[in-house]
Structure 1
Amino acid sequence: MAVTTNLFVTNMFVTVDRMTQTLFALHGGPGRRMVQPIVDRFGGTHRVLAPTHAGWDGTPRPDWYEGVDDLAIEYLDLVEDGDIEDVVLVATSFGGWVAAEMAIRDRGRRISGLVLIDVIGPQIPGLPIATPAADDPRLPKEVRDNFAVLAHYTARHPLGDPRLPRRVARLTVPTLFVWGEDDQVASLDYGRAYAANFPKAEFVTLPGIGHAPLMQAQERTLDLIADFLRS
């Protein structure tokens, strides 16, 4: 399948005798700028893939792209077609939903780890998520447009997918959860409940931080990612 998103690639090594870990950065609702700190920090030492999801920021979206799984399959095709191994998915917010869908479909075992930063995706009884409305006038127009695209992808499961907790329970790769204690979109209890389904999960909280640790506690969050990669 052809890749339809805009793909930003930094430090793409092509020598087969050099083992290069790949970071695949998956952004949330506001757009790709939310994962730019990952590109800036790790672009000199890792291969970094940081796509713009199809439809975000004015990029084309195929008419038949109807769900989160469409993005996940596209990205897995990208990894497999490029014969890329040792891939660590680093995802924030909605990107975490895409990351989970990728990981549970990774039959080629190319994904070696997950870093999930205040992510959404599962429906957890009693712990709803509170994503901003696409028509919220307080948001810039480009952000409202992006949230409208997000609403399209999540229309089948607007409250989250109730099947996801059971499906991620089969994952065996190390997983780091980073969560802002003051997250008003996906609460700390939501994050802990989701993480409990991952067999190899570590959960780190950031006091005084909300839904965007990569923006609100950038160095601390990037240091946690770096420690995870070294381990």
Structure 2
Amino acid sequence: MLIKMDVANKKGVEASYEEIIKTMGKLDVIVNVAGIFNDKDIQRTLLVNLGGMIHSTLSALKYMNKVNGGNGGLICNMASVVGLDPMFLVPVYAATKAGIINFTRCLSHEKFYQRSGVKLITVCPGATITDMFTNFTEKILFPEVADESYQVLDRLHKQSAADVARCIMSALENEENGTVYIIEGKRLFPMEMKRYWRGVEKELND
């Protein structure tokens, strides 16, 4: 089935999931990939990239969570390598991707998984050939630095969307809860994410 969905619209996302459940009966795997690039449209970028992923993830959890009678499952959220390391050309876009990574890691906590039965992972593609960055210089906040930086980006070895899709399938097959993956050069790499503060986490794990 195909449903048109504006992920920035919370009520619309919830209604779409209701329709999916009516038709399919249950959810097993969700891959959240909706995203845009336009740092000049800050609100829309935040609403689609970060807000949309949150709306979709929470709507899916409503039906997948074993506490609510669901069967558990797997949610994969698409971020980006710029969510891991700063890239001054795209600060707004990068901030949304960093938010996706941390939101997903929060919900992949073992205590939550034990109750919900839902695993969550994050994939962070590197340079990929898509239409998203068409008219790049018109969408960045500081075009005065665009030319030199764009030349550097242009020299990067880029992978295709099909390469990324194959790597995502491998990540789904691994089903390693909480893992953050980089997809670079057509290959999938699990990241070792360091923890610098545990606070409540330490108490929960003791």
Q: Shorter-chain TM-score: which interval?
A: 0.3 to 0.5
Structure 1 length normalisation: TM-score? 0.37
Structure 2 length normalisation: TM-score? 0.40
Name whichever structure is richer in helix by fraction. Answer: 2
